Structure 1
Amino acid sequence: MRRSRVVLAALASLSLALGVAGPAQARVGLPPVVSHVPTQDQVVFITIDDGWNHDPEAARILLDKRVPVSLFLLPGATSYDAQYFTALTGLGRATVENHTVSHPDLTTLDAAGKDAEVCGAGEQLAAVFGKEPKLLRPPYGAVDDGVRAAAKACGVKALVTWTYDFTTWSQTPPTPQLKAGDIVLLHFTPTLAADLQRALDAARAAGLKPAALMPQLKAAGLVP
């Protein structure tokens, strides 16, 4: 099974590189890359990456406020405390999505490497959460048509990047004015609770509510 996925992804990447299809045709059938969801609904999308820091206060906010959230998780970050995340998916409105196994720049890997990272993460997350993710966040937002072809071979329906990163790294970033359809990026860092609250406050100030991502992607015709 894995070998067939690698072959399919490699052939798709080769045809793109050789120009077998034109620029528009090359993208036909590949999963879209989404940084903003076209929607008339007054909603934003909260997404959280990685999973290394299991902050109970951030979990409390998500659970108490019933915040719809997409968790793009690394399998290794869930393995030492899976209950933290199963509580969010079981009691809240969280879904688990794919962020690869080890967070590489997928554009630098060959077909076998892409397969191991994307399909491998999907399989490991499915073993823990009972459902294989259909969305992929490529690490660093690095994506090209080769990555899209590999993602498709692994059953990914869309590659999700972001509109704004609300994560506090060396300093708290400026808070943007959110618009309907924006995708907010956060990370499981020690500042997640404060970053999450800042994102929720920005959404409320703009008259927007957090919404589940996959249904809106389907409504926009971006995924089947």
Structure 2
Amino acid sequence: MRRSRVVAAVLASLAIGFGTVGSAQAGVGLPPVVAQVPTQEKVVFITIDDGWYHDPAVAQTLIDKRVPASLFLLPGATSYDTGYFTRLTGEGRATVENHTVNHPDLTTLDAVGKDAEVCGAGERLQETFGRTPKLLRPPYGAVNDEVRLAAKACGIKALVTWTHDFTTWGDAPPPTPQLEAGDVVLLHFTPTLGADLERALGAAKAAGLRPAALMPHLRAAGLV
């Protein structure tokens, strides 16, 4: 029943929003899509996606260096080694956020599919970690107003994409960018995460920036 009410709310919002709001105002009242956080503080934001590869050395680095990190996790990637992530949330400064259940392009799904992916992931992560995620990373960064409507119906306050992807996807890491205040750094739980994280932390230090918790700065910027 709860599911059907969520879907009905999304469809009602679509009907109202697209029936009465002009194109210049489309998206008003929906959760924002954030690729960079407006801030005067010298901070960057470390975000790590998926969760399939559980390197103990990475966890130790995050804990020892007290790196605030937003972990956008797939429930299935946490289920076979939940302790890896509960240690990070318990001993470190990590928070668990929503990355859907199956990592689809949400823009290709109907309202029922969006609900199953976003609300479904939120429910499962809440059961595991005792907290309902308030941030969503849409897989592939694919987002439109229908995705934002579905996210809002699932209790999401902001959709977070990224400024720079530090993930090594091929034989060599990508070029290291010059980081700026408010940048959102994307990493993934892959076998190269340890080296990718060190590159990101080094780039932040070179730019005179420090990693910071994401949600408080979203609030300070008036985005959530």
Deviation track 1:106-144 (CA, whole Å, cap 9, x = no partner) reads 000000000000000000000000000000000000000
Letter in 2 for 1:169: W
2:53 alignment counterpart: 53
1:20 alignment counterpart: 20
Matched position secondary structure for 1:27: coil
Q: Quick check: 1:206 aligned with 2:204?
A: no
Aligned CA RMSD, in angstroms, stands at: 0.9
2:105 alignment counterpart: 105
2:127 alignment counterpart: 127
What is the CA–CA distance in structure 2 between the aligned matches of 1:126 and 1:24, rounded to whole Å?
Answer: 36
Letter in 2 for 1:108: T
1:154 alignment counterpart: 154
2:4 alignment counterpart: 3
What is the CA–CA distance in structure 2 between the aligned matches of 1:14 and 1:144, rounded to whole Å?
Answer: 15
Matched position secondary structure for 2:26: helix
Deviation track 1:25-50 (CA, whole Å, cap 9, x = no partner) reads 33111000000000000000000000
What is the CA–CA distance in structure 2 between the aligned matches of 1:215 and 1:86, rounded to whole Å?
Answer: 21
- Report the alpha carbon displacement of residue 14 of structure 1 after superposing the two structures with TM: 3.9
Report how many aligned residue pairs link the two structures. 222
Matched position secondary structure for 1:189: coil
Please list every run of 5 or more consecutive structure 1 residues that lacks an aligned counterpart in the other structure: none
Normalising to structure 1: TM-score of the pair?
Answer: 0.97
1:81 alignment counterpart: 81
Please list every run of 5 or more consecutive structure 2 residues that lacks an aligned counterpart in the other structure: none
1:31 alignment counterpart: 31
Matched position secondary structure for 2:113: helix
What is the CA–CA distance in structure 2 between the aligned matches of 1:97 and 1:49, rounded to whole Å?
Answer: 9
- Report the alpha carbon displacement of residue 22 of structure 1 after superposing the two structures with TM: 1.0
- Report the alpha carbon displacement of residue 155 of structure 1 after superposing the two structures with TM: 0.3
Percent identity, aligned pairs only? 73
